[in-house]
Structure 1
């Protein structure tokens, strides 16, 4: 089943694992995350490289929901500062998402190494993030997990663009949203307070990102954060 015909929730027309293997050569696992495994992949026909995210259905409802949600959202968006979906497959046991390959570093890694950005570099990053988020909000999409780790340089060139990644928690705003999720350091007060919320929570997260870029430190910090190993992603 080609990407454009993928119908989520359909139980009768799955891809076979061989469909994925016939089109893509999957390399070794690059990273394992909470919901998925990440690979480098090469299109066997074009030889073009991409990033593959593999979700195992057996890992539970939360994982299946994250995979289906990311496919749905990314099929809606096309923006030069958003990592684009290239292809998607659903088998009986897995979801495969193939995304543009970003070869640059995470902005988070740059901060760890350099400490902070200059005002000029910060303004360049923020302009791109704001343009992408304004586009998402025009489609009534709330990202809900904007953070430094999800801002990536598209390549290693000096003037590489920034792209936003990780849309597993993104949500279409159909009235107010109730379920809290995200990363604690970036959460807006209404999410922390378990109140109804919408697109403005992304604007709060952007403010936190800008503060860290300029200062090298988060605006809100609790010493207790270092004393536990809890998962920092709410879901």
Structure 2
């Protein structure tokens, strides 16, 4: 399907709003994010359903930048585990991004509905994420916001694939990146420490995802009052900088050594020593037979419901204007983030 608009900055290429409504029926808003509203759209000629993200230009420079960035990145990628761009319309007032519609559930919901859940199931999820990320990294694209909320099943069939969504923070790595952004609990130490960073931050985030899927617990969590965002994030970031996580009993007692070893390599504090996505695909826990088939559902589900179903975790996993007034332990000056913020997964 040809894109409604090819370029991003030339006024003569603006679409008329009627071009969008002539082609698609936009339903009610199904989700509101900081940068955009999300609709379920129906193509009139075919009846096919898509996801539509509408960005309003009047909402500011960061919104316009996020929309342009997502369009540029999504036009570059084509992979079975990445939600594909279908169409783009740019009017004088709005950006409309049409994507494939994923009708499956989030990974958490899928786990909770299973009668049997093992390391092999987790390995299958992580393998698909690694394959998508290895592909992105081959194009020098850093996702920068990998988290469980951005992983969904493509449909509700038994063997549905996993797809990665939400590319508004993704960035082409032309040299190391400076500005910090992402979701606090998934941030790599080099981002927290305000170092230059690149593709290894995605591998760290996959390690965090893997840790959660195997235990039901986040590797880093600060029990302080989540309403006190400044102190919550400061203490959380200190733990991340130190790589202060453990394979706590009893949650990890039944987890294989191979799984723990891969988590450790993905969550290596030194980014130049961290395993790459391509290397991780070849790990025995992903490509071999090292993943256990023992049922771990009861323990994992109990911790998921305890840690992630509560409102306080929903607050904790916000995408924030990062490290505002954060003072890293080795720094003498307060660091201020310049990255865009979003409050919804």
Shorter chain as denominator, the TM-score bin is over 0.9
What is the CA-CA distance between 1:158 and the residue it aligns to?
Answer: 1.2
TM-score scaled by length of structure 1: 0.94
What is the CA-CA distance between 1:225 and the residue it aligns to?
Answer: 5.7
Alignment of 1:43-192 (within 5 A): 43-110=43-110, 117-192=117-192
What is the CA-CA distance between 1:232 and the residue it aligns to?
Answer: 2.3
Matched, 1:232 2:321: no
| Distance in 2 between residues matched to 1:32 and 1:185, nearest whole Å | 22
2:131 is paired with a residue whose SS is helix
1:158 is paired with a residue whose SS is coil
| Distance in 2 between residues matched to 1:91 and 1:55, nearest whole Å | 10
* 2:218 paired residue number: 218
Structure 2 residues not aligned, in runs of 5+: 229-314, 321-338, 340-345
1:29 is paired with a residue whose SS is strand
TM-score scaled by length of structure 2: 0.65
* 2:271 paired residue number: none
Asked whether the 8 Å contact 1:143–1:202 carries over to 2, the reply is yes
| Distance in 2 between residues matched to 1:67 and 1:230, nearest whole Å | 25
| Distance in 2 between residues matched to 1:226 and 1:117, nearest whole Å | 31
| Distance in 1 between residues matched to 2:225 and 2:186, nearest whole Å | 14
* 2:38 paired residue number: 38
Q: If you compute each CA radius of gyration, which structure gives the higher value, 1 or 2?
A: 2
* 1:15 paired residue number: 15
What is the CA-CA distance between 1:110 and the residue it aligns to?
Answer: 3.9
What is the CA-CA distance between 1:5 and the residue it aligns to?
Answer: 4.7
| Distance in 2 between residues matched to 1:156 and 1:38, nearest whole Å | 21
| Distance in 2 between residues matched to 1:156 and 1:3, nearest whole Å | 28
What is the CA-CA distance between 1:6 and the residue it aligns to?
Answer: 1.5
* 1:193 paired residue number: 193
Structure 1 residues not aligned, in runs of 5+: none
> Cα deviation per residue 1:50-107 (whole Å; 9 max; x = unaligned)?
0000001111111111100000000000000000000000001100000000000112
User: In structure 2, do the counterparts of structure 1 residues 102 and 87 end up closer, same or farther at CA, with 3 Å as the change threshold?
Assistant: same
| Distance in 2 between residues matched to 1:231 and 1:125, nearest whole Å | 21
What is the CA-CA distance between 1:150 and the residue it aligns to?
Answer: 0.3
Q: How many residues align?
A: 233
Asked whether the 8 Å contact 1:111–1:216 carries over to 2, the reply is no
What is the CA-CA distance between 1:12 and the residue it aligns to?
Answer: 2.8
User: In structure 2, do the counterparts of structure 1 residues 4 and 76 end up closer, same or farther at CA, with 3 Å as the change threshold?
Assistant: farther
| Distance in 1 between residues matched to 2:156 and 2:220, nearest whole Å | 31
User: In structure 2, do the counterparts of structure 1 residues 125 and 49 end up closer, same or farther at CA, with 3 Å as the change threshold?
Assistant: same
User: In structure 2, do the counterparts of structure 1 residues 197 and 152 end up closer, same or farther at CA, with 3 Å as the change threshold?
Assistant: same
1:212 is paired with a residue whose SS is helix
What is the CA-CA distance between 1:172 and the residue it aligns to?
Answer: 0.2
Asked whether the 8 Å contact 2:226–2:316 carries over to 1, the reply is no
User: In structure 2, do the counterparts of structure 1 residues 209 and 225 end up closer, same or farther at CA, with 3 Å as the change threshold?
Assistant: farther
| Distance in 1 between residues matched to 2:56 and 2:78, nearest whole Å | 26
